[in-house]
Amino acid sequence: MKISALSLSLALAAAPATILGLSVSAFGPALSGCISTFARPSALFSTKLDQPTVNIQMPSVTRANVDLTSIQPHATETVNLRLPPGVRLTGGDKLRADGLTGKGVRVAVIDGGVDAEHPGFNGQVKQQRWYRDGEWYSDGTEDYHGTHVAGTIHMLAPEAEIYNYCVFETESAENIAVAEAIRLAIDDGCQIINMSIGGPRHNSIARAVSAAHSEKVLMIVSAGNDGDNNTLTYEYSYPAMNSKTVSVAAVYKENDLSTAPWSNTNDAVDYAGIGVDVISFRAKSIGYMKKNGTSMASPHVCGFVAALMTKDGNYSDIITNDESLRTLLDENFVRDIGEKGPNNSTGRGFLTYLNETEYDHMNETEYIDIW
């Protein structure tokens, strides 16, 4: 049976409260324990099949009434990207201004296929492995999960090299594909891995995660979309629950970064990223699309960390493994959400390169107008 990202999205649309259970049944009992992606349809809790896409034209540099001074393309970019709100709230503009562009950093995107030809990537998708039968970016249903995820990472770390490992649309069991992809990413010299995927605990993946951890490869993982809007109940998803990975919850841009009701809550959640109405690249065309999910929150954190890891930057020597990363983030780049201190829905809080003043300014005045 063919596995694809949107199979899950359809299952999500049908009954978002039981995502993982449904994803298993959707993939058939023979594949129980399967891994799924964590995108959600745009309309929350919709019971019908929604197209999770809002197509947005590529920005024009001459657009009226828009201050473009802070959103000029990076020197190496051939396309004038307009940085989306989530990227800007995470500090995308400031990272670029400070020269933290991900140069010298290799990021693994274990996901669906990425449309490497999308002009927004500016050629930074350097390698694609595992699957190359038919169109990389298409599963025939316009889900385009991998391209969207990789796009967010790229916009935060425009000079990072993206290595794409396609673990969907394979004919084999995808758990094995994920474990294999993690090992390939280690061998390929990736320093950080984004996994906007998840499922029940699986030994092959746990072993691969341990291998990556001992090789000091950072792993940023979506917390999962199984949330019941109750922080006191736990929803489990792996490899996010694995203590060797960084688990990322989804929050809204609005209302003081309130938690998305479907974002998993548990004591393994480490941080939060923007995961609602996230604008990123749309495969198969020049442009953008909007998606929801912890799938979209994780790449904000991954891209941010990749930027911090910029070779010869201020933080490249500090981030040497998972533990040093957490210490750096906790001491410098966390914006607490809700009750003071860590909690089950957003962990230690929202990660951003902006200081409090800059964040408040961006939040109140800048980011929303340009879209």
Binding site for Ca ion (CB under 5 A): 228, 230, 233, 265, 336-338, 343
Nearer to Ca ion, 59 or 273 (CB): 273
Least CB distance to Ca ion at residue 359 (A): 15
Q: Quick one: DSSP state of residue 362?
A: I
Alpha-carbon span 179 to 21, nearest angstrom: 21
Contacts of 157 (CB under 8 A, 6+ apart): 95, 100, 101, 102, 105, 107, 303, 304, 306, 307, 310
Q: Helix H segments across the chain?
A: 5-14, 19-27, 85-89, 92-97, 145-156, 174-187, 203-214, 294-308, 322-332, 356-361
Nearer to Ca ion, 98 or 336 (CB): 336
Least CB distance to Ca ion at residue 345 (A): 8
Amino acid in the structure at residue 225: N
Compute and round to an integer the Cα radius of gyration of the chain.
18
Least CB distance to Ca ion at residue 67 (A): 33
Cis peptide before 239 (omega within 30 of 0): yes
Nearer to Ca ion, 214 or 233 (CB): 233
Nearer to Ca ion, 48 or 340 (CB): 340
Nearer to Ca ion, 261 or 287 (CB): 261
Least CB distance to Ca ion at residue 357 (A): 20
Least CB distance to Ca ion at residue 76 (A): 37
Nearer to Ca ion, 242 or 263 (CB): 263
Least CB distance to Ca ion at residue 240 (A): 14
- Residue 299 burial (CB < 10 Å; 0-12/13-18/19+)? buried
Report the alpha-carbon angle 60-61-66, nearest 5.
100
Nearer to Ca ion, 228 or 366 (CB): 228
Cα distances (Å, whole numbers) of residue 142 to 95, 172, 370? 32, 22, 26
Q: Helix H segments across 188-268?
A: 203-214
Least CB distance to Ca ion at residue 371 (A): 28
Main-chain phi, psi angles of 238, to 5 degrees: -120, 145
